[in-house]
């Protein structure tokens, strides 16, 4: 709406200029000349408005490169023209020749050509290097010089997971969270799926986003993602990596494949599963812990329990104690991509008896014959 108001104001101004030109030439007894100039003004104004309306996507890097290139070209043209003017006067020492009309027109032509060449070269160089620089009117900023914390770009999996909302609630994350428009569209598509499980996951993701938007501790932005780099990219994972690289952010995900794709393209990734694994309880061999065994293990005599953070604990000789709390001694810790596993053995108190599988067998020595 504001853009159409701007176009209407521009049209009114151009119409007023055309009427003013027509009136001035009418007073000078040259009405036809005034009509021609007025029509020319209106034609130029109409072409500008139509071109602006037709060209809907205007990359700021291209516009900034042309803008800065023209300014630089005009400056260089003025400097070079001023430097060449004494040489032209030196070639024609006769004052009468220097004051002639042909000589003055020649000087203006040379100045104009120098300015046009400088503008062309400046705009051409900046357009060819627009990906290496970030042009922000009225100054130039290098693209790698980012101010403030880098934004975190969320993907679909980490939104559906929901732990990001709890992490942000602790205020440990002070970066802005960005959700591209295509990620939101993917969430909506999952929420409208015919599969009940997918539909529930999609609705959970939308509820998590709504919860994060309502939280004053979280700075969440829904980005339109209208970068020109995304025009030819169709897959959501690839679009997410290209978008994150364009905004200079970091990807936060639970997706293993997306993690690898982003690393291959030089985009920094924060895997929420790795963050959760790093926060799990550290158990060292020889330490004692108490745990409730909930099911038998895969091997003979094993019992399995879980810590509060979900870490699996495998207890040797704990099968007959399933359903009770036992005290064990940690024997080893295994770190896997799926998480951490703790292995231990039951602590046998003095005066208690255990099963034959738990207690070592004593073999009496035999006499030699």
Q: Which of 130, 145, 160 is the last residue of a domain?
A: 145
Predicted pLDDT of residue 304 = 93
Would you state the pLDDT for residue 95? 54
- The residues, ordered by sequence, that sit 6+ positions from 239 with a Cβ below 8 Å of its Cβ are 180, 182, 225, 230, 233
* Predicted confidence (pLDDT) per residue in 242-294, tens digit: 888 888 889 998 888 888 888 888 888 888 888 877 776 677 888 888 889 99
Do 157 and 128 belong to one domain?
Answer: no
In a domain, 257, yes or no: yes
Return phi, psi of residue 316, to 5°: -70, 130
Same-domain status, 198 and 243: yes
156 and 137 both lie in a single domain: no
In a domain, 365, yes or no: no
Q: Are residues 240 and 309 in the same domain?
A: no
Residue 176 belongs to domain with CATH number: 3.40.50.1010
Within a 10 A sphere around the Cβ of 18, how many other Cβ atoms?
21
The CA angle 305-307-309, to the nearest 5 degrees, is: 140
Identify the pLDDT of residue 63: 75
- Residue 295 tokens read as 């099911």
Residue 345 · residue 329 · CB < 8 Å: yes
pLDDT at 344: 92
Considering the domain architecture, whether residues 74 and 25 belong to the same structural domain is answered as no
Does residue 161 sit in the same domain as residue 243? yes
User: pTM of the prediction?
Assistant: 0.46
Can you give the residue range of the structural domain that contains 323? 288-346
Together in a domain, 121 and 192: no
Q: Does residue 132 sit within a domain?
A: yes
223 with 236, same domain: the answer is yes
* Single residue among 228, 251, 277 that ends a domain in this structure: 277
Of the three residues 145, 165, 184, the one that is the final residue of a domain is: 145
**Total count of domains within the chain:** 4
Position 206 scores a pLDDT of 92
Residue 368 lies in a domain: no
For residues 85 and 25, state if they share a domain.
Answer: no
Give the C-alpha separation, 341 to 347, whole Å: 19
- In contact, 316 and 332? CB cutoff 8 Å: no
User: Do 342 and 310 have their domain in common?
Assistant: yes
Same domain, 141 and 162: no
Q: Give me the residue label for tokens 């602790």.
A: 170
Between the two ends of the chain, the Cα-to-Cα distance in Å is 110
The reply to whether 190 falls in a domain is yes
Whole-number pLDDT of residue 207: 92
pLDDT at 103: 57
Whether residue 203 sits in one domain with residue 237? yes
pLDDT along the chain (369 residues), means of 10: 76 82 74 80 81 68 77 85 71 52 64 81 76 47 51 90 86 86 89 88 91 87 75 78 85 86 86 78 83 90 86 90 91 76 78 42 39
Q: Examine residue 140 and state whether it is found in any structural domain, yes or no.
A: yes
Task: Report the C-alpha gap between 356 and 362 in whole angstroms.
Answer: 11
Whether the CA torsion 184, 185, 186, 192 is positive or negative: it is positive
Q: Which of 236, 261, 232 is nearest to 179 (CA)?
A: 236
Q: What is the sign, positive or negative, of the torsion defined by CA atoms of 37, 43, 44, 49?
A: positive
Domain with 334 in it: what CATH number? Answer: 2.40.50
The CA distance from 179 to 197, in Å, is 23
**Residue matched to tokens 């049209």:** 11
Q: Is residue 184 part of a domain?
A: yes
Query: Does 360 map to a domain?
Result: no
């Amino acid at each position: 709406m504001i853009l159409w108001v701007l176009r209407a104001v521009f049209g009114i101004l151009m119409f007023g200029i055309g009427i003013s030109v027509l009136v001035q030439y009418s007073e000078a007894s040259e009405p036809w000349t005034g009509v021609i100039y007025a029509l020319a003004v209106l034609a130029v104004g109409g072409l500008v408005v139509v071109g602006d309306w037709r060209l809907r996507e205007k990359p700021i890097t291209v516009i900034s490169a042309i803008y800065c290139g023209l300014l630089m070209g005009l400056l260089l043209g003025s400097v070079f023209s001023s430097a060449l003017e004494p040489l032209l006067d030196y070639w024609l020492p006769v004052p009468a020749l220097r004051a002639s009309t042909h000589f003055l027109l020649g000087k203006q032509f040379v100045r104009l050509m120098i300015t046009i060449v400088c503008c062309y070269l400046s705009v051409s160089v900046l357009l060819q290097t627009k990906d290496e620089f970030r042009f922000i009117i009225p100054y130039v900023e290098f693209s790698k010089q980012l101010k403030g914390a880098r934004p975190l770009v969320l993907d679909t999996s980490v939104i559906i997971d929901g732990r990001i909302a709890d992490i942000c609630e602790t205020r440990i994350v002070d970066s802005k969270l960005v959700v591209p428009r295509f990620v939101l569209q993917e969430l909506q598509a999952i929420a409208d799926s015919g599969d009940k499980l997918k539909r529930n996951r999609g609705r959970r993701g939308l509820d998590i986003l709504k919860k994060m938007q309502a939280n004053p501790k979280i700075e969440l932005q829904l980005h339109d993602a209208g970068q020109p780099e995304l025009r030819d990219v169709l897959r959501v994972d690839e679009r997410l990596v290209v978008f994150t690289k364009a905004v200079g952010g970091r990807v936060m995900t639970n997706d293993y494949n997306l993690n690898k794709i982003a690393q291959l393209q030089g985009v920094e990734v924060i895997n929420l599963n790795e963050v959760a694994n790093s926060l799990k309880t550290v158990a060292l061999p020889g330490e004692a812990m108490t745990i409730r065994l909930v099911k038998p293990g895969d091997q003979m005599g094993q019992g399995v329990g879980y810590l509060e953070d979900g870490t699996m604990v495998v207890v040797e000789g704990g099968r007959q104690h399933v359903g009770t709390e036992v005290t064990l001694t940690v024997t080893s810790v295994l770190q896997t991509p799926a998480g951490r596993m703790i292995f231990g053995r039951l602590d046998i108190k003095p005066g208690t008896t255990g099963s034959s599988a738990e207690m070592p067998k004593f073999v009496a020595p035999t006499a030699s014959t």
